[in-house]
Structure 1
Amino acid sequence: MFHKEGHKIIFITFIVIVASFLLVDNFISISWLRAIVMIALLVFLILILQFFRNPKRQTSLNNKQVVSPVDGKVVVIEEVFEKEYFKEKRIQVSVFMSPINVHVTRYPISGNVIFSKYHPGKYLVAWHPKASEENERTTVVIENETYGKVLHRQIAGALAKRIVNYAKLNDKAIQGSDSGFIKFGSRVDLFLPLDTDIKVSLNQKVRGGESVIAELNE
């Protein structure tokens, strides 16, 4: 299954590849060179297809848990001062996505969307310390009665030139369902209550909609 954000690009890429195959077959007479060009075109098509893949995930709905919004590697776990919405200290957990990861962004908890804002900005590498504040990004806050408020922030990187955010104010979010898409690698930050029980460690690989990032500390 492919994500809807990739349907147009996949179609155009397929047409270009087919046309290129015909041109290569007609205009390149050297067999080994023709084979190399055709293989390169096929590899490019495969890369496009894998980038926009949208595998089904089995999310166990649980209002006491926060699941990872994306696939990738945990690169930050630290206490920070969140400036945009909470304006107080929170635990930040950041997940970095490489270009080969699934790029669907999923809701980390179920609840009501109480804040959703897009910010234009720079395209620093996603792991840059100032990327969270200076890069193009979207901030979404979801609230439920059990866990409270959880903020997740999509952040563009050096390659990611487009962030897609589906979350609209007063939407009903369902944990693990699509909340957006980031094209060509980046990262997502989560901002959680200070007393939350973090269930991941640095450099751990996580799966969007399935891996539990944190749990309510009762």
Structure 2
Amino acid sequence: MDSITSVLVPIHREGYKFVGAFLVATFLLVLMEAPYFLIVAALILTAWCAYFFRDPERVTPVKEGLIISPADGVVQSVGSAVPPAELEMGDAPRTRVSIFMNVFDVHVNRIPTDGKIIRQAYTPGKYLNAALDKASEENERHALLMETESGKEIAFVQIAGLVARRILCWAVDGSDVKAGERFGLIRFGSRVDVYLPEGVHSQVCVGQRAVAGETVIGNEKIREKDREGEIR
């Protein structure tokens, strides 16, 4: 039952036009009596498109100081990095957690913590493989700066990938937001970087799978080094 409900979930409204276009194409192929393999291929593409734009509900932990993953995917890297210059956060390195989303992951992005949206900045760029470290600086991106409820700064960045060609963000500057709320979507494979508040370390390990709106990646109340893990 769990495997069924993980597939049969609502589709985000941004996917309606794509799913509709594939359905129309499939219907036209049937009317034209196209070869069977083309009709099957169109049906598979329609199903995949619906699967890509799925938008499941998530159970977000609610506790002061928690920082939740904004994206589904594998933790690609954890380390120190300077936040994007366009956010004007200074040159001091912060702990950065990079989460890579492949084309089979849910691509709806969620707010990582309670607080207020302070600033946003869109930067055009390349479409390198989002798994590459240099994608953080060279790829098209949309960066957001937040102030947490404790008054600290946290940044998160939507980064376009090799096949991603559209970053969507509907967050509003000055708005109060809650952890787990939907704020954007990236179409077709991408990455999200999170620059944790100063002094906060990662609670996830490289290679670990994160779930948007559920996985705790940081905690303002805990002072410890970045966590390490191993495959077992």
| TM-score calculated relative to the size of structure 1 | 0.91
Provide Cα deviations, 1:143-180, integer angstroms capped at 9, x if missing partner.
12326221000000110000001112101212101110
2:31 is equivalent to residue 22 of structure 1: yes
| Letter in structure 2 aligned against 1:169 | D
Partners of 1:17 and 1:47 in 2: CA distance? 13
Asked if the contact 2:130–2:160 (Cα under 8 Å) also holds between the matched residues in 1, the reply is yes
Of residues 99-108 and 55-64 in structure 1, the stretch that sits farther from structure 2 once superposed is: 55-64
Q: 2:117 aligns with which of 103, 109, 113?
A: 113
Aligned to 2:11: 2
Partners of 1:60 and 1:203 in 2: CA distance? 22
Partners of 2:79 and 2:70 in 1: CA distance? 18
| Letter in structure 2 aligned against 1:77 | V
Once superposed, what is the RMSD of the aligned Cα atoms? Answer: 1.5
| TM-score calculated relative to the size of structure 2 | 0.86
Partners of 1:102 and 1:137 in 2: CA distance? 18
Asked if the contact 1:64–1:147 (Cα under 8 Å) also holds between the matched residues in 2, the reply is no
Of residues 150-159 and 194-203 in structure 1, the stretch that sits farther from structure 2 once superposed is: 194-203
Of residues 39-48 and 80-89 in structure 1, the stretch that sits farther from structure 2 once superposed is: 80-89
Counterpart secondary structure, 1:198: coil
2:21 is equivalent to residue 12 of structure 1: yes
5+ residue gaps, structure 2, are: 1-9, 224-232
Counterpart secondary structure, 2:64: coil
Alignment of 1:1-218 (within 5 A): 1-23=10-32, 25=33, 28=34, 34-84=35-85, 85-87=88-90, 88-146=92-150, 148-216=152-220, 217=222
Provide Cα deviations, 1:47-70, integer angstroms capped at 9, x if missing partner.
101010001111122331110001
Of residues 128-137 and 81-90 in structure 1, the stretch that sits farther from structure 2 once superposed is: 81-90
Offset, 1:38? 2.4
Matched positions, count: 210
| Letter in structure 2 aligned against 1:125 | N
Counterpart secondary structure, 2:82: strand
| Letter in structure 2 aligned against 1:2 | I
Offset, 1:185? 0.5
Offset, 1:194? 4.2
Partners of 1:102 and 1:83 in 2: CA distance? 25
Partners of 1:134 and 1:48 in 2: CA distance? 28
In structure 2, relative to structure 1, the CA distance for the partners of 1:83 and 1:55 (3 Å cut) is closer
Which structure has the larger Rg over C-alpha atoms?
A: 1
Partners of 2:68 and 2:125 in 1: CA distance? 27
Offset, 1:83? 4.3
| Letter in structure 1 aligned against 2:26 | I
